[in-house]
Structure 1
Amino acid sequence: MSEGLRAQKKHETRRNISDVATRLFIRDGFEDVTIAEIATEARVAKMTVTNHFPRKEDLVFDIRTDFTAWPTELIHDSVFHDTRELYFEMLDAQHALVGFSGRGFARMIEQSPILKNALHELHREREANLTELLTRRHPGDGLRPVLAAAHLTTLLRVLFEDVYGRVLEDQPRDAIVDAVWPTAELAFDQLEPVFGTY
């Protein structure tokens, strides 16, 4: 088997496990589903599940790498303006990275202290990654890069929670975009005078 086919097979296996686990978690509750049950339902060995997902909550947040890397890996020039542009692209696309999911998925998280804590951890990791990037780019700026990262990731978290809350209320997805868009514009406008050129 070629490296390309092997990588594709690995990706398909990981996706299948995550999809099966999410379906079981939504149906039965995160705490009540075991790794063994997931492995049986996904038709893989228990060790295969844990090899792909070391922690049970990783089965839910399979976008962890993308979540915590954004916006760090997508910034080319202006931290503020690149983030702003990308946020509205993702909001328009109703992307999971800005809070969109199914209502059942959101309720599953809301009902599990472990998952709620894991979601907060994703936001903290995103802030740490952005802090590291800005501090490396601007080593002589003291606390300024730390503050910039904190402000920008707080803005993203607050907007995420707004979308997530509306998903929990089962609002139509297009209506969520229409409601959040002006709030997001205001939030970015308020932050721009302080960090817009950073």
Structure 2
Amino acid sequence: MPRTARHLRLTVAALMYATGETQTDLGRGLGLSQGQISRKQAGTTAWSLAALDRLAAHYGIPAPELLRGADHAVGLLPAARRAACIGATQTTLTPHRPTPPATAPITHDARLTALEADAFRTGRTLAEHTAQLETIREQQTTAFGNIDSLADAIGAPGERTIAQRLDTVEKDLGRCGRTSATPSAC
């Protein structure tokens, strides 16, 4: 096999790689079948001068430049003919967006965001919503303070949780109801 023919086959292979073309694509561009391109690239059939002219027109590179080697020819390839990702196929990936759990607890930040959105819709100021949040916090503090006071009053002070204190209150109230007809006896 002549050395020039081998260089031309390597150049054509490099150009196909750089443009992302298959033998079928190149065959369509040159008016040849995929089988004819395959035989030319395998070296069983030589590239003719007419086919070389069609290659030059197909890739937009002068014919003599195609014979100077693969690196040179690929370097002359017009940018519009280059594949977006040389030598690879392009795959579209869709990002995975996990869905939040349906029963996720609402955090203070989420509540604040909801209040901001509500303020935008209703025209209420963030200060009005902040005042509303402060009122809710005060009510919670008062309620928990009352529970702690009740638990302390019936003899359950100390480093116990509210749940433990409520259990004690329920037990004591149940005992009072069973042992005496009058609440003062408890």
TM-score over 0.5 (shorter chain): no
Q: Which category describes the TM-score, using the shorter chain as reference length?
A: under 0.3
TM-score by length of 2: 0.24
Higher relative contact order (CA 8 A, sep 6+): 1
TM-score by length of 1: 0.23
Which is higher, the Rg of structure 1 or of structure 2? 2
